[in-house]
Amino acid sequence: MARELPIFPLPIVLFPGAPQSLHIFEPRYRRLLSDCLAADRRFGIAYVAAERAPSADPAPDPGAVGCVALIHSTRRLPDGRSNIVTVGERRFVLLEWLDADRPYWVARVAEFDDERTEPNEAATLAAAVRQRFARLARALGALAGSDEEAIELSEDPERLSFQVAAALELQPDAQRALQALRSTTARLRQLADLLEPLAADARRRAAVRQRAKRNGTGGAHPRVERTT
């Protein structure tokens, strides 16, 4: 069912269940925040590219996919700005822009969820994504010289797919493609394919880092030994 929703165009791809901190400083978005807090505490985040002229006021085209953001907490600063924390809820398709007597964008949107999927296939793919993400997290931890444990991943395949998609530092086009998918299994399959080379690259870089550390503390580099 279509609904009216305030829209905050940002260079951010928000996924259901993902937290997102925002700094609200423009007067029109201060008004948006005030109106949302007085209503159901929800607005939409729709992606726009960051590279734009300072005076530009871009807005996504009808048909764009975004995500509802629920305001979880807000901290108002003395000068009227605010720091807020939101959490992604349902995704939506932007149907049309509305003429509204408000300074911010307002659209008619249609929210949607993933389609029903085959449970066994989703569970198998989820296990593969969980395993590959854990390998990536361990490799990145080794690369950073950190012993921090990986984030706790959901057992639910759909929530897992959004959790991993939000955690990966992907290009916006890849994030938007994952956000727009209406199939949990298709999203998990794409994530599994993405995670394998990412984990391999992180392991390679971690191994190089470890070799460099050993060369620095365990004696001269063999090439140096041959030239002295």
What is the pLDDT, as a whole number, of residue 211? Answer: 73
Contact 151, 182 (CB under 8 A): no
What is the pLDDT, as a whole number, of residue 142? Answer: 72
pTM above threshold 0.95: no
17, 72, 83, 152 from 103: Cα distances, Å: 28, 23, 20, 40
What is the pLDDT, as a whole number, of residue 55? Answer: 60
Amino acid at 151: I
Q: Which residues contact 137 (CB under 8 A, 6 or more apart)?
A: 150, 151
180-198 pLDDT, tens digit each: 999 999 999 999 999 989 8
**pLDDT, averaged across the chain:** 89
Q: What is the DSSP letter of 4?
A: E
What is the pLDDT, as a whole number, of residue 205? Answer: 79
Task: Pick out the chain residues at pLDDT < 50.
Answer: 218-228
Q: Which residues contact 18 (CB under 8 A, 6 or more apart)?
A: 87, 88, 162, 163, 166
CA–CA dist 139, 58 (Å, integer):
39
What is the pLDDT, as a whole number, of residue 39? Answer: 96
109-126 pLDDT, tens digit each: 999 999 999 999 999 999
Q: How many residues does the chain have?
A: 228
